[in-house]
Amino acid sequence: MSARWVYACGLDAFDKRQIVTAIMDGRQFILIQDQARFYAAERACPHEGADLALGRCSHARLHCPRHQASFDLTDGSVSPGWSFPALRVFDVRTIGAELWVNLNHREDRGN
């Protein structure tokens, strides 16, 4: 499946927040800035659906606010000791002052 890049937000959305929400293609996402890098992921925690927009991020790990599992934002893998599916993460790119997301999930593309 080929890439499908969609505009997500302006980078100024991160001026006061580290995690920004977006609806793209009718689906809920979170967009995250961690130091100089950006990430995109599904908004609902794959464990019990907690709102990950209420989580916190440090060192490229997103911590769920409900049970404190954490996810590696580079591949979505969950912290040791948990046995539920990985968080779906999406490729991002910046174009000027805009953040774009590839809505085709990596695994869906066979990567």
| Residues found near ligand FES in the complex (CB under 6 A) | 45, 47-48, 50, 64, 66-67, 69
Cβ proximity of 55 and 63 under 8 Å: yes
Decide whether 9 or 78 has the Cβ nearer to ligand FES: 78
Decide whether 10 or 65 has the Cβ nearer to ligand FES: 65
Q: C-beta of 75: minimal distance to ligand FES in Å?
A: 17
Task: Please give the Cα distance from 14 to 29 (Å, whole number).
Answer: 15
Q: C-beta of 9: minimal distance to ligand FES in Å?
A: 24
Cβ proximity of 74 and 60 under 8 Å: yes
Q: C-beta of 58: minimal distance to ligand FES in Å?
A: 16
Task: Please give the Cα distance from 96 to 73 (Å, whole number).
Answer: 23
């774009």: which residue's tokens? 100
